[in-house]
């Protein structure tokens, strides 16, 4: 088991510096253009594929880092470059993780390569879970999957929303209800292959921030997929549903939802994204405060500015430490007895919103214009307290964990 350390090893430093260089040289120069265009930055994704960043191999290497710091380190550097473009680069990973977590070896080998394509023909994938009436309340999901035994096909109907790469993806991973009586335990995940009839893109959202990342509704109308597209297979699903029915009959509905435990383990990665955005805004504000003069001296000489920068840096470092701790705990199998995953995501998300707002304030009128990147960073930071569980949900998870109440 890897011991916890605050010092990156040589290999990690090399990867960090490589990612930082890509973020500085490729992502940042393109950030403003693609934010204005509100389109998927295909050329940047292709560049990431050429150098090996946009690939399953890269994320697998970081995921299996025994210290647990590979993924948060990578997320921080990429999102330091730009949140919208970075999300376009890492968004496929959401669907890939869904297949890795639930699929068979054959499904993993078949579908994940199709999610990424290659440097000459880049593809993306979409993970479709949220619905218009089922965001934080996953038990209210309405998208149904019905098994047609005669044809060995699943028939999917419903509407998904807030899907990164939704509708433009080569492969969609869709979470649907197979047994409504079991609530969130009656869900299953399905692969929808490329060009499957009945799947279409609904509304494409024009967003406040992360505008270079494509977000849209996915509409499923009598979408028929082969039986082998059920992740994990039908035998495994039937066994899991049977156990859930037994637990429900014996009062086991208070058992902690496994999906919630999965979210808890993945939240530090989102925290790391928030740290990257906060750090980027802080650095711009620090440089500005050192060079901007008023009343004959740099504004950093004013206590009101200097103290803000001190607080910004302290919060960023504290957020990173919470993220690293939770990531190390998840990798080494230590239980989140106090919802440490949610703690890291909550604090880092709130830090990103606060630090980017302070950066705008330090730059004054310049910070309010698109001539300076803190305006964009401030807009981007708003998403961190919303997706992958709102700040309110994080507090609920933490509070219920501390009190011993079930997390539904």
Largest CA distance in the chain: 82
The whole-angstrom separation of Cα 209 and Cα 186 is 34
CA distances from residue 65 to 60, 94, 103 in whole angstroms, order as listed: 9, 18, 22
127 vs 90: CA distance, rounded Å? 12
Structure tokens at 161: 């929303």
Nearest in space to 219 (alpha carbons), one of 240, 193, 199, 197: 199
Angle formed by the axes of helices 303-332 and 340-363, to 10°?
160
Surface-to-core class of residue 259, CB atoms within 10 Å of its CB (0-12 exposed, 13-18 middle, 19+ buried): middle
Distances from the Cα of 46 to the Cα of 25, 109, 290, 352, angstroms: 14, 22, 37, 28
Residue at token pair 């919630």: 260
| Nearest-angstrom CA–CA distance, 307 and 295 | 19
- Would you give the distance in Å from CA 94 to the centre of its chain? 7
Q: Closest Cα partner for 94 from 249, 313, 269?
A: 269
What is the rounded CA–CA span in Å between residue 347 and residue 358? 16
Nearby residues of 310 by Cβ (< 8 Å), 6 or more positions away: none
* H-state helical runs in 214-338: 234-249, 258-291, 303-332
Torsion of CA 89, 92, 93, 94, to 10 degrees: 130
Distance between alpha carbon 22 and the CA centroid of its chain, in Å?
Answer: 20
Closest to 67 (Cα-Cα) out of 10, 14, 9? 9
**CA pair distance 18, 78, nearest whole angstrom:** 10
Active site residue 388: yes
- Identified catalytic residue from 76, 77, 131, 388: 388
Q: Please state at what angle helix 303-332 crosses helix 70-81, rounded to 10 degrees.
A: 140
Which residues carry out catalysis?
388
């Amino acid at each position: 088991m890897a011991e916890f350390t605050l010092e990156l090893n040589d290999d990690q430093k090399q990867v960090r510096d490589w990612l930082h260089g890509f973020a500085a040289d490729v992502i940042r120069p393109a950030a403003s253009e693609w934010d204005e265009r509100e389109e998927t930055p295909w050329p940047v994704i292709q560049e990431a594929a050429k150098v090996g960043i946009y690939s399953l191999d890269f994320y697998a290497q970081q995921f299996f880092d025994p210290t647990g710091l590979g993924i948060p380190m990578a997320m921080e550097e990429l999102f330091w470059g730009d949140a919208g473009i970075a999300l376009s680069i890492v968004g496929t990973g959401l669907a890939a993780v869904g297949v890795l977590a639930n699929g068979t070896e054959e499904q993993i080998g078949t579908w994940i390569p199709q999610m990424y394509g290659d440097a000459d023909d880049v593809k993306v994938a979409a993970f479709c879970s949220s619905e218009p009436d089922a965001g934080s309340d996953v038990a209210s999901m309405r998208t149904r999957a019905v098994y047609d035994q005669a044809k060995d096909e699943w028939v999917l109907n419903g509407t998904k929303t807030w899907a990164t790469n939704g509708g433009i993806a080569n492969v969609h991973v869709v979470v649907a209800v197979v047994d409504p009586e079991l609530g969130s335990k009656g869900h299953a995940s399905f692969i929808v292959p490329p060009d499957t009839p009945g799947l279409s893109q609904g509304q494409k959202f024009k967003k406040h921030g992360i505008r270079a990342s494509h977000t849209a509704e996915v509409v499923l109308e009598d979408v028929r997929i082969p039986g082998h597209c059920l992740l994990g297979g039908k035998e495994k699903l039937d066994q899991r549903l049977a156990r859930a029915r037994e637990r429900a009959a014996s009062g086991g509905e208070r058992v902690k939802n496994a999906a919630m435990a999965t979210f808890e383990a993945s939240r530090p990665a989102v925290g790391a994204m928030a740290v990257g955005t906060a750090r980027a805004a802080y650095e711009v504000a620090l440089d500005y405060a050192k060079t901007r003069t008023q009343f004959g001296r740099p504004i950093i000489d004013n206590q009101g500015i200097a103290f803000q920068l001190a607080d910004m840096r302290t919060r960023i470092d504290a957020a990173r430490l919470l993220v690293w701790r939770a990531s190390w705990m998840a990798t080494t199998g230590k239980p989140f007895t106090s919802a440490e995953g949610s703690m890291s995501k909550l604090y880092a998300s709130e830090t990103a919103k606060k630090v980017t707002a302070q950066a705008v304030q330090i730059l004054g009128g310049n910070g309010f214009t698109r001539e300076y990147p803190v305006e964009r960073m401030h807009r981007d930071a708003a998403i961190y307290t919303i997706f992958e569980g709102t700040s309110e949900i994080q507090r609920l998870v933490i509070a219920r964990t501390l009190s011993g109440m079930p997390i539904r």
